[in-house]
Amino acid sequence: MALKTAVVGMGGIGNTHATCYKNNDLAELVAVCDIVKEKADAAAEKFGVPAFYSEEEMLKAMPEIDIVSVTTSGYDNGSMHFEPAMIALDYGKNVLVEKPICADVRDARELVAFANKKKLYLGCDLNHYFTGPAADAKQLQKDGKVGELVYCIHKVGFNGTQDSYKGPGSPRWQTPYSHLKAFCAHPFSVMRYFCGDVVALQAFLDKPGVRQTAEDPMLSINSIHMKFANGGTGYLISQRGDAMFGYGGWWSYEHCGAKSTFAIENCVEKLHVWEPKNNDPERGTMNQATPAPVTKEYGVSDFSSTFPNRIGAFLEDITNKVPYEHIRASGRDALATLEYTFAAIKSYENGGALVVPEALPPMHGDISLVY
Ligand SMILES: NC(=O)c1ccc[n+]([C@@H]2O[C@H](COP(=O)([O-])OP(=O)(O)OC[C@H]3O[C@@H](n4cnc5c(N)ncnc54)[C@H](O)[C@@H]3O)[C@@H](O)[C@H]2O)c1
C-alpha cells in the first residue's frame, strides 16, 4: 500500500518533493502545509490535496500520514528544520528533512537522538550521490575493483550571480558561515559515501558567508583537507561566486584507489574509470602514458533528476522495512556532514588547526541483520 506523505514548507523545494511523491507509486501525497497561506493554497490547488497553515493542525486532522517531508529553510538554509521535524516525529511520523539537517549541530544531535528513541525513520535529502555515475562507482568499489583509498578530490560549487543568489538582503544569509553550512552537507556526504568516516580535518576558508555587496564577487571558498578512518586522504574545494570551475564542471569527484581511479563529472553526467596496465613495460617510469579512461555517459544533464532518485530511495527503504538506522542517507549520515562542517568552522577559527570531528552516535544492532 502506498505510503501517505505530506510536505511542510511549500517553497521551490517543497513543490519538488510534492511532485516526486505524486509521481512515485510507492507514495500518495495527501496534504501540503505552509505558514504562508498563499503558498499552501497554491500547492494544494496544483497537487489536488488539502492545504494546511499549521503542521500540528495537519497532523491532528490527518492521523493517517506516514511520512512528512520538511522543506522549510531559515538562516543558513536550515534553521527552520528542527522544530517541524521534531513535531512530526513526536506525532509518530517518519521524516525526510532537507539539508543541512539543521543550522546548529546541537539541534541535529537532538533530532537524530529523538528519531532513534521513537524508532522512526529519519532521512535527509543528501541527493548528490543518488545518481547513475555514483551507483556504478559504488558497485565498482563493492566488487573490489577500486581498492584501498589513496586520495579523493571533490570540487563543487556554483558560479552564482547576484540575481541567482540573493545576498545580504535575504534572511537566509545572515551568519558568517551561511555558504559553508547551507551547501557543504552535499560534498561531505559524497566523500563519506565513498570513503567512510572522517577522523580529522583542517580548513582554510575565505568569505564562508555570502556576498556582502552587489559588487562583491562573493567567492566563498572552503578548502578542506581530510583524513579518513580507513586510510587515505581527501581534499574538498567548494566555492560559490562569480568564478567558473574548469575541468569537471560545477561538480567533479575523483577517487584514486590502489587498483583503479574513477571520476564523476558534472554530478549526473559521466563516469570515467582508469585502470593501470600492469603489463606495460614502461610502468613506473616517466615514459608511461596515462591510459585513456573508459567513459560512460548517462544521457542526463539535469541535476534535478537527483530528487526523484533520492526520494524514491527513501520510499523504498521504508516500504522494504530496512532497519531504521540503516536507511540510505539517514539522519545520522546527515549529522556526520554537520559535525564535519562544525569541525571545519573550529579549524578555521583556530588558524587552520587540525580538528577531530565529534563522534557520531553509535549504531544499534537490529535482530534482522544478525539472524
Ligand atoms: N537537496 C537539494 O539539492 C536542495 C537544493 C536547494 C535547496 N534545498 C533545501 O531545501 C530547503 C527549502 O528551500 P527553498 O528554497 O524551497 O526555501 P523557501 O524559503 O523558498 O521555502 C520554504 C517554505 O517553508 C515555509 N515555512 C517555514 N517554516 C514553516 C513551518 N514551520 N511550517 C510550515 N511552513 C513553513 C516558508 O513559508 C516557505 O514557503 C532548504 O533547506 C534548502 O537548503 C535543497
Residue 279 has pLDDT above 80, yes or no: no
Q: Coil, strand or helix: which one is 204?
A: strand
CB of residue 16 inside a 6 A radius of ligand 1 = no
Report the pLDDT value the prediction gives residue 276, as an integer from 0 to 100. Answer: 78
CATH T-level fold of 3-128+306-328: Rossmann fold (3.40.50)
| Spacing, Cα 335 to ligand 1 middle (Å) | 19
Residues 157, 199: Cα–Cα separation, whole Å: 24
> Best of 73, 173, 190 to mutate for ligand 1, by most ligand atoms within 8 A of CB?
73
Per-residue model confidence (pLDDT) at position 358: 98
Extended strands (E) in the chain: 3-8, 27-33, 51-52, 67-70, 94-97, 122-124, 149-159, 198-206, 220-228, 233-241, 251-257, 261-265, 270-274, 294-297
What is the rounded CA–CA span in Å between residue 219 and residue 242?
7
Lowest mean pLDDT among 66-70, 103-107, 321-325, 332-336: 321-325
CA of 181 to the centre of ligand 1 (A): 15
**Which residue from 13, 82, 333 has its CB within 8 A of the most atoms of ligand 1, so it is best to mutate?**
13
Among 211-215, 296-300, 351-355, the least confident range: 211-215
- Its CATH class, for the domain covering 129-300, is alpha beta
pLDDT band, residue 155 (cuts 50/70/90): very high
Residue 247 in this model has a pLDDT that exceeds 90: no
Mean pLDDT, residues 203-209:
88
Ligand 1 contact via 33 beta carbon (within 6 Å): yes
Side chain identity, residue 75: Y
For the chain, the domains span 3-128+306-328, 129-300
pLDDT of residue 218: 75
pTM for the whole structure:
0.96
How many CB atoms within 10 Å of residue 230? 10
Q: Is the CB–ligand 1 distance for residue 123 below 6 Å? A: no
Closest residue by Cα to atom 23, ligand 1, is 9
- Across the range 21-31, mean pLDDT stands at 98
By most ligand atoms within 8 Å of CB, the mutation choice from 90, 98, 338 for ligand 1 is 98
Ligand 1 centre distance from Cα of residue 371 (Å): 41
Cα(190) to ligand 1 centroid in Å equals 22
The model's confidence at residue 339, banded by pLDDT at 50, 70 and 90, is: very high
How much is the pLDDT for 222? Answer: 92
Taking the C-alpha atoms of residue 297 and residue 286, their distance in angstroms, rounded to an integer, is 31
Would you state the pLDDT for residue 23? Answer: 98
pLDDT attached to residue 320: 96
Quote the percentage of the chain above a pLDDT of 90. 78
| Residue 206 CB coordination number (10 Å) | 11
**Is 7's C-beta closer than 6 angstroms to any atom of ligand 1?**
no
For residues 42 and 360, give the distance between their C-alpha atoms in angstroms, rounded to a whole number.
Answer: 40
CB of 35 closer than 6 angstroms to any ligand 1 atom: yes
36 lines ligand 1 (CB under 6 A): yes
317 lines ligand 1 (CB under 6 A): no
**Bridge partners for 70 per DSSP:** 8, 97
- In the prediction, which pLDDT does 162 show? 61
Does ligand 1 lie within 6 Å of residue 181's CB atom?
A: no
Residue 366 grid cell: 537490529
The residue ranking higher by pLDDT, 289 or 249, is 249
Distance CA 361, CA 261 (A): 32
Question: Residue 200 — pLDDT band, cuts 50, 70, 90?
Answer: very high
Contact assessment for residue 355 and residue 346, using Cβ atoms and an 8 Å cutoff? yes
pLDDT in tens, 125-149: 999 999 999 999 999 999 999 999 9
pLDDT in the model for residue 154: 98
pLDDT of residue 161: 63
> Looking at ligand 1, which atom is closest to the CA of residue 33?
33
Q: Return the bridge partners of 69, or none.
A: 7, 96
| The ligand 1 atom nearest the CA atom of 36 | 37
Kindly tell me if the per-residue pLDDT of 278 is higher than 80. Answer: no
Q: State the pLDDT confidence band at 168, using cuts at 50, 70 and 90.
A: low
Q: What is the dihedral of CA 211, 212, 215, 220, to 10 degrees?
A: -30
Query: What are 284-327's pLDDT values in tens digits?
Result: 677 677 778 999 999 999 999 999 999 999 999 999 999 988 99
Q: Best mutation site among 71, 83, 107, 186 for ligand 1, i.e. most ligand atoms within 8 A of its Cβ? A: 71
Model confidence at 166: pLDDT above 90: no
Average pLDDT score, the chain? 92
Percent of the chain with pLDDT over 70: 94
Q: Between residues 213 and 188, which one has the greater pLDDT?
A: 188
Mean pLDDT, residues 38-62 taken together: 98
Ligand 1 centroid to residue 81 C-alpha, Å: 9
What is the average per-residue pLDDT within 270-285? 80
